Structures are given as structure tokens and as C-alpha cells.
Structure 1
Amino acid sequence: MRRDYWESLCHRWAIGPCQERSQAVKHNRAAHPKKNVHTSGLVSYATHNQKLCHELERAPTFCKLFDRTHKRRGTDDYVSKSARTISETYDKTMADRYVEGTPHPDLDPEAWVDATGWPRKG
């Protein structure tokens, strides 16, 4: 990356809305430590997706990608009860919505929102 681009980004991140958002996120992480336990660290979903694609020799399902980033390495244990509940709820919702053996999307956004309990936005 060119130095002037980098300096411009650093300046942008150091002021105004970026700093406000950073402080809000820092506060939320401290207030809810059990909600912020991921095994992926600084590795993006895209990178995990690429690695899984290489390992499986095909595109991974959304659930496999979720498990990769929400289970402890080398075990079948989720990083939190919340992650386990989300996975189980999503799997059950998908089974209820789609008859086994029929085509269905890899990711059903409505089923995911229902499983996570996130509020619906527009």
C-alpha cells in the first residue's frame, strides 16, 4: 500500500466517527466478554473460507464455516453456549423449513436471524 494512502487511513481512523465507534465496540466487548469468544482471531471469514475450500476441495457450507470460527481447535466444543445454541437452533429451523432431500439454500437469512435472535432491520 502506498505510504500516502496508509497515512490517510491512519488519520481517518484517529478522528471522529471511527474513534467513537471504536470506543463503543471496546466498551461492548468489555461488558459482554462471553459474547466475544471466537477462535479465528484476526483471520477473516474470507480466509477461513479459502482454507476450507482447499481442505474440502469444494466450497464449504455456511455451517462448516461457522463451526470453524466458533469451535475450539481440535475439539468439537463450541466456544460458548451461545454459539452452540445458535448452531443447534439454525439446524433445527432448516430441518423444519426444508424437507430432507429437497434443494435448499446453504444460508437462509431468515432462519439465521431467527437462530441468532438479532433484531430484524428493514
Structure 2
Amino acid sequence: MWKGHRPPNIRRDYWDTMCDQWATENFRHRSRIVAENRTKMPEATLHTSGSISFGRQKRKMVKSHIFNL
């Protein structure tokens, strides 16, 4: 299903290999488990700092001695 829809910046042979891997039962089983785990703890998958920039967050951490340079 995916093989005919590769992104233009990925080589066809790489894309086909990834599609073959994604179609295996082992990969699909692990994917289901990981998806279930993500729904159990959605806050654990966030890679953001909200409206606070990473630079500002770093300054706050340095100031509070959590992060020393």
C-alpha cells in the first residue's frame, strides 16, 4: 500500500525496505503495544516546554542551580 507513495527525498530502495519492515507482523505487534503505552501516559511523550522557549527554560534552570554550566 505504501510503496507507491514515497516521499521524493527518500531513495526508492530505502523506502521499499522500510515498507517491507512495517508490514511484518512483529513490527505491527510492537507498534500496537507502543501506541497503547502512549495513550496511558500522554504527558510522557511531550517534547515541548509550553509557551516558554528552550533558552528561557535553560536560564531558569541555571538560575535555580538545577543545570550548572
- Distance in structure 1 (CA, Å) of the matches to 2:51 and 2:27: 33
1:18 CA displacement: 1.6
The code of the aligned residue for 2:27 comes to C
1:72 aligns with 2:50: yes
Runs of 4+ in 1 over 4 A off after TM superposition: none
- Report how many aligned residue pairs link the two structures: 51
TM-score normalised by length of structure 1: 0.33
Aligned to 2:61: none
- Distance in structure 2 (CA, Å) of the matches to 1:21 and 1:9: 15
Structure showing greater relative contact order (alpha-carbon pairs closer than 8 Å, 6 or more residues apart):
1
Structure number with bigger Rg: 2
* 3-state SS in 2 of match to 1:74: coil
Q: Which runs of 5+ in 2 are unaligned?
A: 1-9, 58-63
Aligned-residue sequence identity (percent) comes to 31
User: What CA RMSD, in Å, does the superposition of the two structures yield over aligned residues?
Assistant: 2.9
Q: Which runs of 5+ in 1 are unaligned?
A: 40-70, 78-87, 96-105, 107-122
Note the alpha carbon deviations across 1:77-118, whole angstroms, 9 max, x for none. 7xxxxxxxxxx8xx3xx88xxxxxxxxxx8xxxxxxxxxxxx
